[in-house]
Amino acid sequence: MKTPYFLIHQSILEEGLGKLHTALESYWPNSVIGYSFKTNSLPWVLSFMKEHGCYAEVVSENEYELAEYMGFEHIIYNGPVKGKDSFLRACEAGHIINIDALREIEWLKEAASAEKTINVGVRVNFDLESMCPGEASGGEEGGRFGFNYENGSFLRAVEELKEIRGVRLSGIHLHCSSKTRSLNIYRAIAETACKICKEYGLDLDYVDVGGGYFGGLPDKPQYDDYLGAISGILRKYFDPKRTCLIVEPGTSLICPPIDYVTTVTDVKESNRNRFVTTDGSRIHVDPLMRKKGYFYHIEPMKPEKETVKMQIISGFTCMEDDRLFRLTDAPALQCGDQIVYEKVGAYTMCLAPLFSGYYPDVYLEDKGRITCMRRRWGVKEYVQGTEK
Ligand X SMILES: *Cc1c(COP(=O)(O)O)cnc(C)c1O
By CB under 6 A, name the binding residues for ligand X. 36, 38-39, 57, 59, 78, 175, 210-213, 248-252, 346
Which residue's Cβ has the minimum distance to ligand X?
Answer: 250
Q: Rounded to the nearest whole angstrom, what is the least distance from the CB of residue 145 to ligand X in the complex?
A: 8
In the chain, DSSP assigns E strands to: 5-9, 31-36, 55-58, 75-77, 96-99, 118-125, 147-148, 167-173, 206-210, 244-247, 258-269, 274-278, 295-299, 307-314, 323-331, 338-342, 361-366, 369-374
Closest CA to 178 of 208, 148, 133, 220: 133
Shortest approach of ligand X to residue 146 CB, angstroms? Answer: 10
Residue 229 or 261 having the CB closest to ligand X = 229
d(CA 349, CA 93): 30
Do residues 106 and 84 make contact, with C-beta atoms less than 8 angstroms apart?
A: no
Nearer to ligand X, 213 or 238 (CB): 213
Q: Of 188 and 346, which CB lies nearer to ligand X in the complex structure?
A: 346
Q: How far is the CB of 40 from ligand X (least distance, A)?
A: 9
- What's the rounded Cα separation, in Å, for the pair 63 and 9? 24
Residue 97 Cβ vs ligand X, minimum distance, rounded to whole Å: 12
Please count the residues of the chain.
388
Is the CB of 38 or the CB of 282 nearer to ligand X?
38
- Least distance (Å) between residue 20 CB and ligand X: 11
Beta-bridged to residue 340, according to DSSP, are 261, 297
Can you name the residues that pair with 342 across neighbouring β-strands?
A: 295
